[in-house]
């Protein structure tokens, strides 16, 4: 009780200094949390990917296609449970800046293979029945105010022309990490149109989605599929969805590394600021600590008071910082949802915030404690007398 009172009162003796330090820690923890959330958002696709889904694409590059005829051959490979296929549609709604990912896909298989996309059964049925039907993520639907039954026109960037769709389903993510911005429609709709307008582009897919019965089977199945098409006109590369997603991110890996680094630098800087505050504070109070030692208080008492004070300041700053991270992440995520479809403050980020706050408190107190504990009483008293 007594100790708590002393360290709380001590913490607020220099109101301005403490306020500024608390503010500094608040900003540092907020920045740290936001940067880590950005990194998390970067990997959200990877997190959400399943280890029992494989992606078979053209060995040359993603921009090359595969013949739809591969489907049956892939289906024959032992260990394969389902084969779907998709095309990147790259549709634009009114304006380029209204970006969201859009795919033409073989709907029945896709729905089975992506259980994390939650679509009510009646909507699913309506979607299957409707040739121009589309399913869209909750976030994108809310963003443009789309309701079930609405007709939506997208401009094709890869497949020229205006494409009409009827919204038949709105999906929610089963997890927080599920991307709720995607837009799907029937691959057949795209293909039938292509047969009329650009027959040489018809009957091709961007990639096959291959379901395997267990994650252990993934490696063998991948090898088997790729062997099937070796020396054919379109050789394939099959990898897990995770690896597929990571190959996207690896292009931007350097940025992620820099963001991580900056997040730690922010903490190191605030450690220095806080250490300076504590050093000043303890220097001013060295006489008081000498008096306490005179009265018989030991290193543990005095060290405890200084550590405690440092902890109080860091805890208040961290609490504010953590508290602000949520609204800040929401605002940030909302305004950049086209780049970061999933922008959530992970629980692990909060733990990291707390650990960072604790580290700041401990590091800042180390030297002052050492000084206060080591100083000889007679010298300490001399400073006041």
Partner 1 sequence: MADNRPIIVEIRNVFKSYRRGSQVVPVLDDITFDIPEGEFLALMGPSGSGKSTLLNLIAGIDKADSGAIKVGGVDITTLSETDLAAWRATNVGFIFQFYNLMPVLTAFENVELPLLLTGLSRRQRREHAETALAAVNLSDRVDHYPSQLSGGQQQRVAIARAVVTDPTILVADEPTGDLDRRSAEEILDLMERLVHEVGKTIIMVTHDPRAAGKAHIIKHLEKGVLNNHVRSQDPL
Ligand X SMILES: Nc1ncnc2c1ncn2[C@@H]1O[C@H](COP(=O)(O)OP(=O)(O)O)[C@@H](O)[C@H]1O
Site residues for ligand X per CB under 6 A: 378-379
Minimum CB separation of residue 287 from partner 1 in Å reads 7
**x-marked contacts with partner 1 along 246-285 as a string, rule CB under 8 A:** ----------------------------------------
**x-marked contacts with partner 1 along 10-39 as a string, rule CB under 8 A:** x--x--------------------------
User: Do residues 83 and 71 make contact, with C-beta atoms less than 8 angstroms apart?
Assistant: yes
Find the length of the chain: 385
Complex with ligand X: residue 227 or 382, whichever CB lies closer: 382
Complex with partner 1: residue 330 or 376, whichever CB lies closer: 376
Residue 46 neighbours by CB distance under 10 Å: 16
What φ, ψ does residue 105 adopt, rounded to 5°? -145, 160
- Name the one range near partner 1 by CB under 8 A: 82-90, 100-108, 261-269, 372-380: 372-380
**From the list partner 1, ligand X, none, partner contacted by residue 295 (C-beta under 5 to 8 A by kind):** partner 1
Dihedral angle sign, alpha carbons of residues 153, 156, 160, 166: negative
Minimum CB separation of residue 318 from partner 1 in Å reads 24
Query: In angstroms, rounded to a whole number, what is the distance separating the alpha carbons of residues 229 and 59?
Result: 10
Contact call for residue 6 and partner 1 (CB under 8 A) = yes
Complex with ligand X: residue 336 or 378, whichever CB lies closer: 378
**x-marked contacts with partner 1 along 279-308 as a string, rule CB under 8 A:** --------xx--xxxxxxxx----------
Complex with ligand X: residue 13 or 383, whichever CB lies closer: 383
52: left (phi over 0), alpha (psi -120 to 50) or beta: alpha
User: Do residues 144 and 150 make contact, with C-beta atoms less than 8 angstroms apart?
Assistant: no
Total site size for partner 1, rule CB under 8 A? 22
Complex with partner 1: residue 5 or 15, whichever CB lies closer: 5
Minimum CB separation of residue 383 from ligand X in Å reads 11
Q: Which residue is nearest to ligand X (CB)?
A: 379
Minimum CB separation of residue 380 from ligand X in Å reads 10
Minimum CB separation of residue 290 from ligand X in Å reads 12
**From the list partner 1, ligand X, none, partner contacted by residue 294 (C-beta under 5 to 8 A by kind):** partner 1
What φ, ψ does residue 42 adopt, rounded to 5°? -60, -40
Region 192-221 residues binding partner 1, contact defined as CB under 8 A: none
In 3D space, the residue among 272, 292, 256, 259 whose CA is nearest the CA of residue 363 turns out to be: 272
Query: In angstroms, rounded to a whole number, what is the distance separating the alpha carbons of residues 328 and 335?
Result: 11
| Residue 123 buriedness (CB in 10 A; 0-12 / 13-18 / 19+) | middle
**From the list partner 1, ligand X, none, partner contacted by residue 298 (C-beta under 5 to 8 A by kind):** partner 1
**From the list partner 1, ligand X, none, partner contacted by residue 13 (C-beta under 5 to 8 A by kind):** partner 1
Which residues of this protein are in contact with partner 1, per CB under 8 A? Answer: 2, 5-6, 9-10, 13, 287-288, 291-298, 376-378, 381, 384-385
């Amino acid at each position: 009780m007594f100790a708590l009172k002393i360290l709380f009162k001590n913490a607020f003796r220099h109101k301005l200094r403490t306020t500024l330090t608390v503010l500094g820690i608040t900003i540092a923890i907020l920045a740290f949390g936001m940067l880590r959330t950005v990194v998390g958002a970067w990997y959200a696709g990877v997190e959400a990917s399943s280890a029992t889904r494989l992606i078979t694409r053209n060995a040359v590059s993603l921009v090359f296609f595969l013949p739809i005829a591969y489907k049956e051959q892939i289906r024959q490979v032992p260990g394969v449970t389902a084969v779907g296929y998709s095309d990147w549609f790259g549709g634009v709604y009114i304006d380029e800046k209204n970006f969201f990912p859009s795919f033409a896909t073989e709907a029945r298989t896709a729905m089975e293979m992506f259980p994390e996309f939650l679509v009510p059964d009646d909507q699913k049925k309506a979607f299957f029945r409707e040739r121009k039907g589309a399913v869209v993520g909750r976030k994108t639907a809310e963003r443009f105010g789309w309701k079930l039954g609405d007709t939506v026109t997208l401009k094709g960037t890869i497949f020229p022309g205006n494409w009409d769709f009827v919204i038949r389903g709105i999906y929610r993510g089963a997890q927080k990490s599920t991307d709720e911005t995607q837009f799907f429609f029937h691959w057949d709709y795209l293909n039938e149109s292509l047969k009329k307008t650009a027959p040489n582009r018809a009957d091709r897919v961007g990639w096959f989605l291959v379901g395997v019965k267990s994650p252990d089977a993934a490696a063998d199945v991948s090898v088997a599929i790729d062997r099937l098409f070796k020396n054919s006109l379109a050789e394939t590369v099959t990898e897990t969805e995770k690896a597929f997603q990571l190959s996207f991110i690896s292009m931007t890996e350097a940025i992620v590394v820099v963001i991580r680094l900056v997040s730690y630098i922010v903490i190191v800087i605030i450690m220095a600021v806080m250490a300076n505050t504590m050093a000043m504070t303890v220097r001013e109070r060295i006489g008081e600590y000498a008096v306490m030692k005179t009265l018989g208080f030991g290193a543990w008492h005095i060290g405890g008071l200084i550590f405690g004070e440092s902890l109080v300041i860091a805890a208040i700053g961290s609490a504010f910082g953590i508290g602000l991270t949520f609204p800040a992440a929401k605002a940030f995520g909302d305004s950049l949802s086209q780049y970061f479809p999933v922008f959530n403050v992970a629980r692990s980020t909060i733990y990291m915030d707390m650990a960072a706050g604790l580290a700041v408190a401990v590091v800042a107190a180390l030297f002052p404690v050492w000084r206060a504990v080591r100083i000889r009483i007679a010298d300490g008293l001399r400073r006041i007398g």
